[in-house]
Amino acid sequence: MPADYSKSDIPEDFVAAKKESSGNLSAGQSQSKRRFISKTVLTCLSIISTAEIARRVSFKAVKLEIENSSLNDIAKGDSILENRAYVVMTDNEKQTMITSLVDKYNKPGK
């Protein structure tokens, strides 16, 4: 407080408002704030941990589904390849294929 003011010069409303906003809390108010903050923190932690568990479970389910579908595709492809046999082309077939490729190259658009 400046030295040139006396306590009687300061309005009582200002002093009362200053005391309320100064942060001086009673013991009951302080414990109430602490309980509120601790409950809020615990609630946030529980929400975050629940979300993390749900994320992990869903990713594992998706991963298993992808692995199973991949294995099914591999099995189908293997069975198709097993049923195919290597057939040697005759010289006439090779010449026909080469001729058709050269003709298509020389006449684009047809």
Which pTM value belongs to this model? 0.38
Q: Domain extents for the chain?
A: 25-106
DSSP collapsed to 3 states, the chain: CCCCCCHHHCCHHHHHHHHHHCCCCCHHHHHHHHHHHHHHHHHHHHHHHHHHHHHHHHHHHHHHHHHHHHHHHHHHHHHHHHHCCCCCCCHHHHHHHHHHHHHHHHCCCC
pLDDT in tens, 38-66: 999 999 999 999 999 998 888 887 888 88
More confident residue, 2 or 109: 109
Does 73 score more than 70 pLDDT? Answer: yes
